């Protein structure tokens, strides 16, 4: 069993999480931790796209697993970045942003062979306050 810890950039909307991904085969991936960040709002990225840096593409063997990702309606794009995984604003934004992030990453990791993906919301009060603010904004 190979465990990969996910470290999220807390300042980015929808990413107030921690997480772990378990792979049944110890040789399935060549990494023990991944950092997850958000792309800027100005970058219009479809919600089913996960940006990955070159190191992550190699360590997770994404090129070999691309067909498995496309079967579940998910895909990756290579990008030069400090963080291992970057998610678009459209998937992170709004009332269900954190849930959408969890769903996308679960789908992504399960498609490439993960046996389990677990998340913890770090600041539940902050998340509820943000959702309440989104509800108030939509009522106006």
> What does the block give as tokens for 91?
């998937």
Residue 90 to residue 77: CA distance in whole angstroms: 16
The 10s digit of each residue's pLDDT in 101-139 is 999 999 999 999 999 999 998 876 665 666 677 667 666
Cβ neighbours, 10 Å, residue 23: 19
78-113 in b/e form (b: 16+ CB < 10 A) is ebebebbbbbbbbbbbbeebbebbbebbbbbbbbbb
Tens-digit pLDDT string for the chain (140 aa): 899 999 999 888 889 999 999 999 877 788 999 999 998 887 788 888 999 999 999 999 999 999 999 999 999 999 898 999 999 998 998 889 999 999 999 999 999 999 999 999 887 666 566 667 766 766 65
Q: Confirm if 6 and 94 have CB atoms less than 8 A apart.
A: no
């Amino acid at each position: 069993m190979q465990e990969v810890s996910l470290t999220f950039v807390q300042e980015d909307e929808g990413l107030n999480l921690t997480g772990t991904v378990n792979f049944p085969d110890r040789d399935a991936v060549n990494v023990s931790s991944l950092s997850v960040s958000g792309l800027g709002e100005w970058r219009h990225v479809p919600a089913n796209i996960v940006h990955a840096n070159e190191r992550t593409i190699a360590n997770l063997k994404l090129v070999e697993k691309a067909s498995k990702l496309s079967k579940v309606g998910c895909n990756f794009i290579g990008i030069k970045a400090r963080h291992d995984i970057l998610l678009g604003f459209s998937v992170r934004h709004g009332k269900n942003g954190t849930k959408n992030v969890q769903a996308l990453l679960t789908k992504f990791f399960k498609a490439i062979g993960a046996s389990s993906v677990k998340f913890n919301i770090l600041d539940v009060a902050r998340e509820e306050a943000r959702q309440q603010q989104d509800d108030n904004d939509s009522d106006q």
